Chains A and B, each alone.
Chain A
Amino acid sequence: MELIKIFNNFLSIAAIIVAVFYSINFSKSGKAYKVFSCYLIFIAGIQILLVVYSFYKENNLFLFNYYFIGQFLFMSLFYFYLLKKRWIWKLTGIVMLGLLLQYIFSPTSFINYNIIGVSITQSVIVVYALLYYYRSLSGEAKFLYVNTGVFFYFISSILFFSALNLISKLQMPKETHLYVGLVNDFLYFTYLVLIFIEWYKNFRFKKI
């Protein structure tokens, strides 16, 4: 139990550290790098807020909505700069419109885990990552580690996030919740490690 909590806190700190690393070369870098750095800062911010809210025993579920919507917007922009396809904007617009309609017609989804929203946005990001993999076959490509992380984490965690509502409604001991969450924690840890490797190998010293 304690170990899992420590691991959780470690992940929050790791997310902040990775964001700091990426911020070092922010001004000297390209657009895709800047967007990705912003995404990491955003994620780190959400992590901090989650910790603060849980410290004061406040309900932090609404943050989950900000998390996946922000993540979707940043990732769309990131892949727009990598793939250079205009239809990404159209798709982002359509998904955002869908989410807006969902929140208008079912306001309760804002205070629950919005599993439809998170599944759709993550699936779209997985499609971008897959397309970028395809693009990378024909030549040199930047952000391949990040892309691997995005593809791996987003595809693997779709089921976990989709099952969140179900899991939270089950009459289970709190420990079981934490153990299930541990699977996602490990996936997230792998994701962070890949992001760190990308920075360490390609962006540590170089101008981008």
Chain B
Amino acid sequence: MQNNLAEEIQIIPIILIGICLLILMSAAIILFFYLSRKKIVQTELEKATLKIQHQKEMLQTSLLTQEAERKRIAQDLHDDISSKLNIVSLNASLVQEENISVQEANALGSKIVEITTTVLESSRRIAHDLLPPSLDKFGLTAALEELCDQVEASRKFEVFTSFSYEEEILPKDQELHIFRIVQELINNTVKYADAKTVSLSLKSTQNTVHLHYKDDGNGFELATGKLAKGLGLGGIENRAAIIGAKVTLESQPQNGMSLDLVKQRN
């Protein structure tokens, strides 16, 4: 009986050890989950901070672009419209004077007509720069062709185009973004690249729209190019992000640059 009791009581430490092991095991699992969760939350936080940072940069770039555009418009209005209208106003007030001869009045009149014509032409050009009417009336391909014709007319470089884009496959606002991207790329090539040829293609299929732009100009280091605000690459990336397209930019010093923009429709 005594022996039996001693044997039976031995079970108690075994049970207690078992319970202790279970406690240890559960504590280890809890610790594992706690640490994993902490790590995951931290990673997500870092990701979110990066995203916010990127959005801030995008916003800043778009604000800068907007300001530059306003400045340009103000300059255009001041140089091409206001100053010339001043002359018109001056001439018109001269016509009103009493002691003016008919010949002088006629000369002033034709001067007024001449200046008004240039003002009209300027205002048309400014409006055209702001939003090319061909984009609205004839579609993206026509607007891009017109843009390329204008560039070629300046004889700075040759432009090879290839368009197989189904009009209005993208909404109007997205087409405008693509147009602006091409405009910005051509501006860069004109300003910095010293290129001889530029090739531009725009293709659309059932599900994708693909824009390809390439020049054989000076090129640039990608890392420094992206930081350089003058290149407007931030603006291009912004616009691509707005329409949900993927941009791949390639460039090397003295080896030109190329840009591929792919927009998935669905």
Contacts and interface: CB of A to CB of B under 8 A. Distances in A.
Contact of A155 (B9, B11, B16, B25): B25
Contact of B22 (A156, A171, A176): A156
Given A136-B33, A137-B33, A170 B11 contact: yes
A135 B19 CA distance: 27
B26 A152 contact: yes
Interface string A154-171: 011111100100110011
A59 interface: no
Contacts of A158: 22
Contacts, number: 60
Q: In the complex, which range does the number of interface residues on chain B fall in?
A: 20 to 34
B19 A183 contact: yes
Contacts of B12: 167, 170, 172, 176, 180
A170 B8 contact: yes
Contact of B37 (A137, A171, A172): A137
Contacts of A171: 4-5, 8
Interface in B87-118: none
Contacts of B16: 180, 183
Contacts of B37: 136-137
Interface in B1-48: 4-5, 8-9, 11-12, 15-16, 18-19, 22-23, 25-27, 29-30, 33, 36-37, 40
Given A138-B40, A156-B22, A183-B19, A151 B30 contact: yes
Contact of A152 (B9, B15, B30, B36): B30
A133 interface: yes
Contacts of B40: 137-138
A112 to B, nearest CB: 18
Contacts of B30: 133, 148, 151-152
Nearest to B36: A137
Contacts of B9: 170, 172, 176
Nearest to B40: A137
A79 B22 CA distance: 22
A58 to B, nearest CB: 27
A159 B8 contact: no
A187 interface: yes
A159 B18 contact: yes
B119 to A, nearest CB: 62
A151 B29 CA distance: 9
Contacts of A180: 12, 15-16
A163 B15 contact: yes
Interface in A181-205: 183, 187
B21 to A, nearest CB: 9
Contacts of B8: 170-172
Contacts of B23: 152, 156, 187
Nearest to A155: B26
A159 B29 CA distance: 18
A160 B17 CA distance: 11
A172 B4 CA distance: 11
A160 B11 contact: no
Interface in B221-239: none
Contact of B11 (A134, A156, A166): A166
Nearest to B18: A159
27 contacts: A133-B30, A136-B33, A137-B33, A137-B36, A137-B40, A138-B40, A151-B26, A152-B26, A152-B27, A152-B30, A155-B26, A156-B22, A159-B18, A160-B15, A160-B19, A163-B11, A166-B11, A167-B12, A167-B15, A171-B4, A171-B5, A171-B8, A172-B5, A172-B8, A172-B9, A172-B12, A183-B19
The 10 closest A-B pairs by CB, nearest first: A155-B26, A133-B33, A159-B18, A170-B8, A156-B23, A156-B22, A163-B15, A152-B26, A159-B19, A137-B37
Interface of A: 130, 133-134, 136-138, 148, 151-152, 155-160, 163, 166-167, 170-172, 176, 180, 183, 187
